[in-house]
Structure 1
Amino acid sequence: MSLIIKEVLKEKELNDFIRFPEQLYKHVTNFIPPVRSEEVKTFSQDANPAYEYCDARLWLAIRDNKIVGRIAGIINHRYNSNREEKYARFGWLDFIEDKEVLEKLLHTVEVWATENDIYTVHGPIGFTSFDPSGVLVEGFDEIPTTYAHYNYPYYGKLLEECGYSKDVDWIEFNVKMPESIPDRIQRGAHMVQARYNLHPIRIKNRRHLLKYTGEVFKLINRSYSGLYGFSEISKNQAKQLINANWFILRKAYISLIADENDKLVGFGLAFPSLAKAVKKLNGTTSLRGYMTLFKALNNHKTVDLLLIAVRQDYQSKGVHAMIFNEIAKKFLKNKIEDIETTKELETNLKVNQLWNKLENTRQHKRSRCYIKRLNK
């Protein structure tokens, strides 16, 4: 029963790497298989602009000719460039319930890190903040959002046994959409709007939205610059993100707030929840699958709230309430019943407190990023 770690170098090996979770979680209701063609793009240096500033290697754990685990090692040089302590990341971590398998996978990344003069390893975390990150430690009975990754409960325990400890937690909320926006949120939003001479930008159509995409990504880069694991989004990445999400973008679920000079000070973005529709694809793409997605886009009761960003000079002025007030009007109009927030740092009190102001809110999922400092 010898265990070997094999680097992914061939197309078939990449296919095995991508499809391993489908076998590992084939009996798990809440597992959503990623679309295989999109995963291939993620690990293609030609298709993924993150390779402009990241190095990555992929490995499989194999026992008796059977795949029993996988891991990606990533060095994000842009993230490291502004830090005294240099980090290597591990991501796309999946493994059977066997400490030896995990230990050897992690050791492989650790050796690679030290060969690059890096002595701190953390993860799971991807190339960028838009990749799956964190080990699920709470919420195993909840269906993930479209952009999250499920894992078994044993992951966290075995990571700790391998010498890793908590670095940060991300939390997620389920918010039952009220029949009307609470008065205190409306009053707060109107007060902020009047006090700082702000106004919502009315998006006429998706083409009109393109006028603001440059400002949106500048705002993300500035307001997220201090967030854990974040590295600046390049122009090529911004273009790729727009192209990848254009099909599911709905102008009704975008809230743009501008100052008196029509300069963007904050925005919020939500998508129709596609988790159940993507699960039906079972990792594949077909005309029938796209019809399933199209149906979900036009007939849904749940939205995933992806991003809220506020310009740094407005971050303590209540703009978050104004963003939510504007986007919530659209939720009510479209008869949305549930809001699923995507991962937020547990220390992001401005956003976390916004959800706690609403009734029928529960913090139902928690994911953890682990860290280990290696001996030099």
Structure 2
Amino acid sequence: MSVEIRQVTTKSDLKKFVTFNLELYKGNPYHVPGLIDDEIMTLSEDKNPAFEFCESVYFLAYKDDKIVGRIAGIINHKANDIWNQKHARFGFLDFINDNEVVNKLFAAVENWAKEKGMDMLHGPMGFSDMDHEGLLIEGFDQVGTMATIYNYAYYPRQLERLGFVKDQDWKEYKIYVPEEIPEKHLRISKIVREKYGLKTLKFKSREEIMKYRHQIFDTINKAYAHLYGYSELSEAQIEYYSKIYLPMLRLEFVTAIVKEQDDEVVGIAITLPNLSRALQKAKGSLWPFGFIHLLRGLRCKSKIIDLYLVGVLPEYQNKGINALLFDDLIPIFKKNGIVYAESNPELETNMAVQLQWNYFERKHHKTRRAYIKRID
């Protein structure tokens, strides 16, 4: 039978859209599933505040009455205004290795985007930088992370067959925790702390970190403003992500650098114990036992830490703030038995981020790509 494309219009359809990913990668040792309820919330107009400036459409591909692919079309109008472009995004992309399936999924999104007046299609991307982005093109034998997409090796080949080309690449590293803080870091930290009147802030409670949420995300907004496809998180998004993520943090793994005179946050590092194995055991659901796996993952010792969000105000970048952040975190990592950190995606053009790891042993083990194509 030929492939049929159906638009997602009901809650039942949306659940099928989300759970197809779990079925496609069932038994794959490298894929890290997200949580079904979280993904449904992200895709729901009445839940996700990104819909204040985004619109979307979701399609499922059926063959022999069985789901064989999915794709989302997204337009982030705020990002388009900032970057002076008419781009639609594709995301939440999964499919079997079948040319007809891929052709029809992308045709559906391209037609939708064209009707909306868009002239380019790029991705995979989500509604904001807090969503997964970038197709894996190297590192298919590496376990994914909570913050990234895992996909089969045939995905990039299929996109390139359709005429998609590279727009941006991200690199990911294993960064090994040193036995001691690098000497140069210690010297830089002392100079920077005294020169700019800075201090290290550790949070003692979740209530305290919630009080700093606006400062934290304001720093992230300003630090990431120039990066590929970024659009500033709104107040509603800040509240949304604060309620989801900040309560789950292990506070010892969060470090802020603030001005001594007024406690203004100039740098932030939010790191998490790697939850890949816990999410694999949860199999997309918190209930009945998934939450136990996640709690264990957060509370127990892990050999891996994820660098989830690291940002420094633009006026303080390239001035040694990262040395202050990791001078605090390295001893904490060592105390907890951390062997290496997963950098998560770093734009290959973001040299400031790339250079900060020069004093550490590191291994480039994954690359992911944003593709782009003109809409005919």
- TM-score of the superposition, structure 2-length normalised? 0.96
Q: Show the counterpart of 2:357.
A: 355
Q: Show the counterpart of 2:301.
A: 300
Query: Gapped runs of 5+ residues in structure 1?
Result: none
For residues 175-231 of structure 1, give each alpha carbon's deviation from its aligned partner in whole angstroms, at most 9, with x where no partner exists.
221222121222222222222222112322222222221111111111211111211
Q: 2:283, 2:290 within 8 Å by CA — same for their partners in 1?
A: no
Q: Show the counterpart of 1:79.
A: 79
- 1:248 CA displacement: 2.2
1:16 pairs with 2:12? no
Query: Gapped runs of 5+ residues in structure 2?
Result: none
C-alpha distance in 1, partners of 2:213/2:33? 30
SS in 2 for 1:142: coil
Q: Show the counterpart of 1:242.
A: 242
Q: Show the counterpart of 1:30.
A: 30
C-alpha distance in 2, partners of 1:263/1:329? 25
1:290 pairs with 2:291? yes
- 1:33 CA displacement: 2.0
Q: 1:320, 1:351 within 8 Å by CA — same for their partners in 2?
A: no
C-alpha distance in 1, partners of 2:203/2:28? 40
Q: Show the counterpart of 2:139.
A: 139
Alignment of 1:320-359 (within 5 A): 320-359=322-361
Q: Show the counterpart of 2:275.
A: 274
* Matched AA of 1:144: G
Alignment of 1:146-295 (within 5 A): 146-261=146-261, 262-295=263-296
The percentage of counterpart residues that share the same residue type is 40
Q: 1:88, 1:113 within 8 Å by CA — same for their partners in 2?
A: yes
SS in 1 for 2:9: coil
Q: Which moved more, 1:187-196 or 1:92-101?
A: 187-196
* Matched AA of 2:328: E
Q: 2:137, 2:368 within 8 Å by CA — same for their partners in 1?
A: yes
Q: Which moved more, 1:88-97 or 1:322-331?
A: 322-331
Q: 2:210, 2:246 within 8 Å by CA — same for their partners in 1?
A: no
Q: Show the counterpart of 2:369.
A: 368
C-alpha distance in 1, partners of 2:177/2:125? 31
* Matched AA of 2:294: L
C-alpha distance in 1, partners of 2:195/2:85? 42
Q: 1:71, 1:93 within 8 Å by CA — same for their partners in 2?
A: yes
SS in 2 for 1:305: strand
For residues 312-332 of structure 1, give each alpha carbon's deviation from its aligned partner in whole angstroms, at most 9, with x where no partner exists.
111121212222222223212
Q: Show the counterpart of 1:312.
A: 314
Instruction: State how many pairs are aligned.
Output: 374
- 1:287 CA displacement: 4.4
Q: 1:175, 1:338 within 8 Å by CA — same for their partners in 2?
A: yes
Q: Which moved more, 1:302-311 or 1:258-267?
A: 258-267
C-alpha distance in 2, partners of 1:157/1:356? 33
C-alpha distance in 2, partners of 1:15/1:205? 36
- 1:356 CA displacement: 3.0
Q: Which moved more, 1:324-333 or 1:225-234?
A: 324-333
Q: Which moved more, 1:198-207 or 1:251-260?
A: 198-207
* Matched AA of 2:232: E
C-alpha distance in 2, partners of 1:132/1:370? 14
Q: 1:76, 1:127 within 8 Å by CA — same for their partners in 2?
A: yes
Q: 2:166, 2:369 within 8 Å by CA — same for their partners in 1?
A: yes
Q: Show the counterpart of 1:112.
A: 112
C-alpha distance in 2, partners of 1:291/1:285? 8
SS in 1 for 2:212: helix
Q: 1:273, 1:300 within 8 Å by CA — same for their partners in 2?
A: no
C-alpha distance in 1, partners of 2:220/2:55? 23
C-alpha distance in 1, partners of 2:228/2:356? 21
Q: Show the counterpart of 1:88.
A: 88
C-alpha distance in 2, partners of 1:352/1:200? 23
C-alpha distance in 2, partners of 1:284/1:309? 31
For residues 23-76 of structure 1, give each alpha carbon's deviation from its aligned partner in whole angstroms, at most 9, with x where no partner exists.
211131111222111111111112111111110100011112111111000000
Q: 1:248, 1:271 within 8 Å by CA — same for their partners in 2?
A: no
* Matched AA of 2:207: R
Q: 2:202, 2:251 within 8 Å by CA — same for their partners in 1?
A: no
C-alpha distance in 2, partners of 1:242/1:287? 25
Q: 1:61, 1:67 within 8 Å by CA — same for their partners in 2?
A: yes
C-alpha distance in 1, partners of 2:321/2:92? 35
C-alpha distance in 1, partners of 2:144/2:202? 31
SS in 1 for 2:83: coil
C-alpha distance in 2, partners of 1:17/1:209? 35
* Matched AA of 1:326: D
SS in 2 for 1:179: coil
SS in 2 for 1:146: coil
Q: Show the counterpart of 1:65.
A: 65
* Matched AA of 1:294: L
Q: CA RMSD in A?
A: 1.4
1:42 pairs with 2:42? yes
